[in-house]
Amino acid sequence: MIALVTGASGGIGAAVAKRLTDDGFTVVGLDVDDADVTSSEQVEAFVDRIEDSTGPITALVNTAGILRTGKAVELSDADWAATMAVNTSGVFHVSRAVARRMIPRRAGAIVTVASNASKTARQNMAAYAASKAAATAFTKCLGLELAEFHIRCNVVAPGSTDTPMLTGLWDGSDALLTSVEGSPEAYRVGIPLGRVAQPSDVADAVAFLLSDRAAHITMQDLTVDGGASLGV
């Protein structure tokens, strides 16, 4: 079994790579040093290389992502474009390249790691939330189109997770404590389970959706946020 994991060098991506390795996958990481997910040409060439040298990709996990914050009316064109290029177009490019090769084999599973921000409004996160919402919708549509080929496509939507992306969000304050307690002035509730997720929590959800235990699950969005989005 061969799993391709984008953004595998750190954070959630690294945890996913470790978990899948423990589960018996041969894991191939795709980071910017290997191929730029915003370039369809680079992605196609990279996937070709993996299929030729390592073998057929049986699982894909899209975790590569960036976060550019700011009020919607103050976001620069560059920040908006970069966010969409990585978080949305990147998912499209890699998923399309892998799915094209899975279809003749009539087997495979794809998981996109999105965010609970895709369905819960957040201040200063308009670009990120919109990009993750688009990636979520794309993955579900892909799942519908690939169902006849027995290829499953699902989404995992983390909330606050103990990664550099989270700690960089709070400008030096205690990011973990702030995430747990919430921020009423920003209309942001805390985390009912009382802790921030570890990357391994998200990786466990991804591993489940790739496994045979989820053989009849497709086009679903599994939120892993300790209840922060109140089940929405």
Residues with a known catalytic role: 128
Pairing of the two strands 59-62 and 26-30: unpaired
Inter-helix orientation angle 11-22/199-210, to 10°: 50
The whole-angstrom separation of Cα 164 and Cα 167 is 5
**How far is it, in rounded angstroms, from Cα 61 to Cα 162?**
19
Q: Decide if 5 contacts 30 (C-beta within 8 A).
A: yes
DSSP 196: P
Judge whether 108 and 102 are in contact, CB under 8 Å. Answer: yes
Assigned token pair, 173: 């304050």
Q: How far apart are CA 2 and CA 55, in angstroms?
A: 7
Amino acid at position 168, single letter: G
For residues 83 and 66, what is the distance between their CA atoms, to the nearest angstrom?
6
